Structures are given as structure tokens and as C-alpha cells.
A and B are shown apart, each in its own frame.
Chain A
């Protein structure tokens, strides 16, 4: 099973597919490069996890550490808030994507258009279609899928990863203290 075939193999994209971010350093470089980043956190971050930890735990810490504003979709908002991350916006994913596709949209804080959008934890089909929409409708944006399921339509995507590997990659990229060596 390839790490860079769509997580649902039937969901083939097009002629161009996302380079996979196999190493924490590659993701960290994107985080550093972003001037106006946004992290979109969906409801599946509340069901993905292992060893008593959830994806949302890690992503909340990542957002705080990197100072990235968060858009909560689905019902991820309250779970983020209890983890110390007050979402900059609570919004349905499609509504947010439609605004992101507008190069003049001033962003979740009104300070100017975003340049890199990190997305994690929508259901696979929803994230897949949303990233397709942004790929075609928002060429000004770089999109990065942080879900543990490879998303061909993103500008960059994590490969298909089991929980320990995903945890290690995120922790390493964002410099969280438990990062694997």
C-alpha cells in the first residue's frame, strides 16, 4: 500500500498530485515560510488518536507554538477552546473555502489574505473536495494537508500515516517537546 496513493484509492485526483511531506523538516520549512498562515481543524481530529491522545491535542499545541490562527470547522471549536486555543473563526468548511478562494478576502482576522492554509481532520471526502476546490479556485494559496491520509489535491500533503508516525511528524515539525528524535 503506497504512502502516496489517495487514502481512499478510488479518489484519484488529476494529472498533478501533491508532493508528500515525509520528514518533519519539510513541513517545518513550510510553517516558517508562511507569512499569513491559517490552520483549519475539523471534527475528525477528535476521533483520530492513540495512547490516550487525540490529534486535536497535538494540533492545538502546534497552533499555539507556531502562533497560527485557527479556523474550527464541524464541531471542533469547543474542543479547541478547552485546549487553550480560541478559534479565530468557527465556520463551515465549504463556506471558509469559498472565502479563501477570493484573493481579496482579508482573512480570519481582517489583516490580509492568507498565503498558506494547513488543513486537518475533515472527513476524507470533504477534505479531498475542499482541497480540489482550492487548488483550482485559489491558485494564490498554498494548501497543506496535515491529515494522516494522503490528499492528492493539496499543494503538499502528509503521506498515509499510522498514528505513531503521524504524531512523531507533527511533533517534530512544530518543535513540540515530545518530538521523536
Chain B
């Protein structure tokens, strides 16, 4: 009975008018609500090209080639420097955008595949008709991104398959555009990067709504529980399972097996990276060890009795490290098999026996439920055999250091490792231990040391970090009522902005900086969101009273709230909140109406993304999804390696003209937001940028004055003087912070400032509005 697919344009029923109903055998993907479909339901890679080009005309790519060469086909290698074209005719600029598109495709494919595996698994377990419910009664607008992009309103797990088919198709088209002899224009590549980002957020939303609904995670709950983070939270007397990765079903199966067998509390279930956050959403008794950068140090501690890896951001050498530490491994993802034999079909008893006795170092098991049982039973049996690593003679090992400096030249944080190692060699180990706080755990220092000194291992041994921090587990979506309460103040500018700290842990100077920024902006009464490794970093910092930001600030989406939405896939709730503001507060139609809603968000919702430690291709895709909605993203210095920035030119007035919808005239709005994608050099610089990028053309005078006061304050803190561009952001005298008016007016007048109107701004032509 496959292949039956009925499409009904419109039908009247006792339940109301139903449009665009699509019924197929094996699937029901539909829009069953009475809202006209906008101009771009399920847009193709070119459907929003005009919107992209409007954005990219303002935020032109500034290229930072990581490599002058192209080696993607056998014509090459081609040297593209100095204006030379490759054998295929491509320019260096186009090549950078092409690689940016490849990265975005990898990221989007990864999230889409993650979502697909989750949805398939959950359908197997809970059935096709299992209802989607990301927020109970508090969330009526369940999947704002899917409604906006696809024009669909999924109601069941099976409906999500239709959405994923669309995502998968788009990723294939986008990837095809990177083939030799396809796109050549850099801006067309960049437009496709934005398309990939938009698709990425669809896939993120699918993944998180599916798992929140079926796995009973907190549902848009501002009071999601506080859970423990840190190695110190682990009861080492118990058997310990470690799960690393992003796709949570094996970890959930472990927790469920424990619950079903009365073993809760008998085994410690610990996690690194996003799986860690997601398993605490399932059970607050699970423990978050730390972010992605903690893999080596925790495995080497010898604490875990068994390692389960799923997918994404898992170190490629983790199996080797685990083997060296005597920890057996279960690989659980078809995308991360680690060369291990597939033993999925064998009975659980045999697998437990093989892992417990040390007969094998690891195995591939592609059935989450089986993993749940095997991991628990094997960990319990392994516990008495745990090999506590011998304590290191730090001084003796470090004394071999010849001070060659190779380690510092390999270290992404540029830490003075030789100085610290040599001091340790003299018995002063404190400095070396302290460096662990800013170490990203890459292990490169160890790879290059001619003396064979394992610098990272030594550093971990010199640091007894057994702190336990409280982090609020991922709450999921933002409630409709929260949006109703803050939508107005955000759009008017009275809440100075929404700042989202997202992404990986490749920090220039440790996660402490993320925590400090989170605290700073929460104190300034921005709405602060966190997710993924940044959500963990934010927890690892205490105020004077010993409280982490999650204990100090509320978890509500409100001024001064610190809102952990969850794992990487939960980022869709941050973009989703911006979209919900357009829908719930401003009554814009969402359904297949991307450009109009993006234009609204861009001009009115003062949101800024911060990926201080962005590292992965997934982070690139997530950022691109924010860009297409007109939400700027600030990255740390390593983010420059994404090969290009998207920068505005505040000094070019002609770039900042918009159409005033009230008068239909072209008017100057000032450089707000000034950039779409920029790497900052230091935390202080990032904070001044964040405050500036939160300004929007639509801010009321009261809102603009609040935003300006934060910008001036943070700018002065960084640069020690008044901003030199204030005249570009002040439209009328009423925009000026009241207590600074007398000080600021002369500055403005020196720059030839005069008052100008506050328009009803749009980047779109008139006909684009429904």
C-alpha cells in the first residue's frame, strides 16, 4: 500500500476549515490550520535569494582565506592567490564562500541526520501517532520554525518525517552546488549558506521537539531542575558509566534500564557534551561532567567503568584513550563506528560477558535498548576491576622539559606552557594546574613535545578540580505567555536585548569568560539564553555569595533571566522565540512567510548570538540560521577561521537606508545592527559589540536610550573613552540617556549630528508584504 498520497487543497469539516491536507499511507504531513500559506512554503535554495541579497548587500563578506589553494578536484591543486583563478575558473573569494557552504552543509546534514535517527527511534518506540507536545498548555505555537519555513504544523512524530524529507532534499541540493563547475558567484554561495542555516534550524526544532515530547523532558519549564556539574559530583564508589556525544537514546535507555530494575542511585550515569545535558532532562540524577573539552581529562582519570559514545564532537582518539585507561567502549552510532565489530544482534549476556571480562576493548551496538542493558550490567561488573591510574610524579616528569617552546606553539590558547612546565619541574606546580581552567583539552601540546611530556595530563594531575556546580537543565521551548510578556518590551527596546550564548568550547581564555558575560548581561537585564557547552561553561562560575548564574537568576525568558534551553538542537528555541515574537506579539503570519518575518525580526527584535568558543561545522550552520533571520552573531577570535566575516560599514551612510512603511520613503536608520558576523578579540570587546548589535531601527526613544547607556558603559570599560560613533545611533534627543544628555549632546554636535525621524523600517519592497 505504499505510494498513496492524497492532497486536499481545502475541505470544510465539523472541526473547521482544513487546508493543504496531505494524507499518505505511512505518513501524515499537513497544515491543518486555517491560515493562508505564505509565498515560500518549503522554499527551494533560490526562493529567498532576494532576501539574502538584501542582507548581503549590507553585510558584505570580508574574506580571510585559511588557504590560498583549492584541492577539491584533480585539476588542482590550484593557487588562487593574487587574483589568479583556478583551473575551473573559480576565484579565491568564491572558494572561501564555497568552503563556508561545505561547512554549513556538513553542520546541517549532521543535525538533520541526528533528527532523522531520533524520530525513527522514537517512532519505533512510541508509535507514529505519538503527539508532539513541547510545552503542554503553555505552548500553542509548537514549532514556529517549521511553520515559518515549511508552512506545516506537525502534530505527531510521523508528521516530522515529512519535514525531514524536505530538509534532506535541501541539503542534497546545497551540497551539489559546491561541485566543480556549479556556483561561481560568492554571493550565491553565501545565499546558499544562509539557506543551509535556515534548514539547520528546522532540523534542530524537529529533533528537540521530538525528544522533549516523547522522552518527557521538561516542557518549556522555567523551573527545570538544577542538576550537578563537575567531576566532584560523581560518587566514585559506585559503578560509573560515561556517555559522550549528542544523540541521547542510548543514554536514555541506560537511565530507563536502571529505573526499571530498581538500580536508580546504584550506578552513576555521567555525560560529556550535549548528551550530558539531554540525559539530565530525562533524569536529574544524571551528572554532567563538563563540556566537550573535558574528554581527555575525564577518561584519563580512570573514573568511568564503561564508555558509551554516540555521535558528534566525540574525539577520534577516545577509543585509544579509553583502551589505555582500561575502560571498555560501546559505540552506538552508525556515524561513529570506531572500527569496532558490530555485535548488535548478539544476546545481551554475551556482550556483557565480553566487556566485563576484558575479552574485548569495545564493540558496536546499534540498538539503544540493548546498549542500556549492556552498559549498566557491564559497568557493575567492571567496577571492582577499575584501574586507578598511578599518581604522577609531576616534578620528575616536568623536569625533562628543555624549554623548546613547541607546546606553546601548538596551543590554541597560547598559554605559557613551557614556563609552567619548567616551574613544575622545580616543584612549583600551582601555575601548571591553574592553566587547566583555560585549556581546551585538544592535546596538541602532547603531540609535539620532543621529550614526550604529556602536558595536558600533567596539567590535569596538577589541578585537583573537584568543584560541583549547579546548572539548570534544558527547559526546551519558550512559553507563549512569556513571549506575550516580553515581546513588547523587546520590540520597543525597553528590554535591551536577548543574548544567546551558544556553541562549543574552543574558548580563547577559558569558559570563565562565558560565565562572566552571562552574569554581566543578566545583571543588565537582558534576556540571556544558553545552550550546549556554553550552558555548561556559564555554570562554572560563582558570585560573591557562592551562587552560579543558574542559582542566582531566574530561568524565565524575562529581563534578567538566564535561560538554558538545552543541548545544541535546542538552539531552535532561541530562533523560535524571535519568530514567536513576530507571531504572538506582532501578529505576523508565519506560515511559509519567511522573508516578511525575517524582516520583522531583523528590524525589531534586538537579539544577538554569541558563540565564544565556536569550533564545529554545526556551529557554522547554527550561526547561519540566525543570520538569515537577521540576528547577528559574535564569535571568539578562533571564529575568524570560518574564513569570512559578514561586516557592515557604519561609515557608509548609503548602506543604511530603509523603506519607511508609513511614508514609503527611503530613510537613514543608522548602522543597526552594524554587523551580521564578527570575531571579537577579547571578552571586553565582545561585550561592547553585543550591546551595540542589540540596537534595532525600530527601538523607541526610551528603548534606544536604555540600549545606548549599556553600549556607552561597556564601550568605556573596554576602550576607556566615549564611543566615537554615538551620532550614528542617536535619532532624536530623546534617544539620549537622560543623565548623560549634557555630556553627550556636544559630542554629537561636533559630529554634525541632527535629529532624524524614527521610521517603520523594512528592507523589503512593498509587494513582499502579504
**A contact residues vs B (CB 8 Å cutoff):** 1, 7-10, 12-16, 42-44, 72-75, 77-78, 81, 89-90, 92-95, 97-99, 101-102, 105, 122-126, 129-130, 132-133, 135-137, 139
Contacts and interface: CB of A to CB of B under 8 A. Distances in A.
B443 interface: no
9 contacts: A1-B405, A1-B406, A8-B410, A42-B681, A93-B679, A125-B638, A133-B65, A136-B68, A139-B83
Given A73-B681, A77-B718, A123-B414, A130 B647 contact: no
Contact of A16 (B81, B409, B718): B81
Contacts of A132: 64-66
A125 B649 CA distance: 24
Given A98-B649, A130-B640, A90 B64 contact: no
Interface string B62-73: 111111110000
Nearest to A95: B647
Most B Cβ at <10 Å: residue of A10, A122, A130 = A130
Given A93-B679, A101-B62, A139-B83, 11 more contacts: A7-B409, A9-B410, A42-B681, A75-B684, A95-B675, A99-B651, A102-B649, A123-B508, A129-B640, A136-B93, A137-B62
Nearest to A86: B721
A129 B66 contact: yes
Interface of B: 62-69, 79, 81-83, 92-93, 404-406, 409-410, 412, 414, 508, 637-638, 640-641, 645, 647, 649, 651, 675, 678-682, 684-685, 689, 718-721, 724
Nearest to A43: B682
B409 A90 contact: no
Q: Which of B64, B638, B675, B682 has the most CB of A within 10 A?
A: B64
A44 B67 CA distance: 25
A123 B681 contact: yes
B412 A125 contact: yes
B130 to A, nearest CB: 46
Contacts of A75: 682, 684-685, 718-719
B685 A126 contact: no
A69 to B, nearest CB: 14
B682 A74 contact: yes
B267 to A, nearest CB: 41
Contacts of B640: 94, 125-126, 129-130
Nearest to B681: A74
Contacts of B82: 16, 139
Contacts, number: 121
Given A75-B718, A125-B640, A133 B682 contact: no
B92 A136 contact: yes
B636 to A, nearest CB: 9
A98 B79 contact: no
Contact of B685 (A13, A74, A101, A135): A74
A92 B685 contact: yes
B63 A136 contact: yes
Contacts of B409: 7-9
Contacts of A7: 409
Contacts of A73: 681, 685
A126 B686 CA distance: 14
A94 B721 contact: no
Nearest to B674: A95
Contacts of B638: 125
Given A14-B79, A94-B647, A126 B719 contact: no
B67 A14 contact: yes
B561 to A, nearest CB: 28
Contacts of B685: 73-75, 92
B720 A125 contact: no
Given A9-B409, A14-B81, A15-B81, A92 B681 contact: yes
B67 to A, nearest CB: 7
A129 B679 CA distance: 11
Nearest to B77: A15
Given A77-B721, A137-B63, A43 B681 contact: yes
A129 B92 CA distance: 14
Contact of A15 (B69, B406, B651, B718): B69
Chain A CB within 10 Å — which of B680, B681, B721 has the most? B681
Given A75-B719, A81-B720, A94-B647, A133 B681 contact: no
Contacts of B647: 94-95, 98
A133 to B, nearest CB: 4
Given A15-B79, A94-B645, A77 B719 contact: yes
Contacts of A137: 62-63
Nearest to A124: B414
A95 B414 CA distance: 23
A9 B682 CA distance: 24
A101 B68 CA distance: 18
Given A125-B641, A130-B64, A92 B680 contact: yes
Nearest to A90: B719
A64 B508 CA distance: 31
B149 to A, nearest CB: 30
Nearest to B416: A47
Contacts of A92: 678, 680-681, 685, 689
Given A77-B718, A95-B678, A125-B637, A14 B62 contact: no
A133 B64 contact: yes
B351 to A, nearest CB: 40
A129 B641 contact: yes
B81 A126 contact: no
B122 to A, nearest CB: 41
Contacts of B720: 77-78, 81, 90
A1 B405 CA distance: 9
Contacts of B93: 136
Contacts of B679: 93-94, 126, 129
Contacts of B637: 122-123, 125-126
Contacts of B412: 125
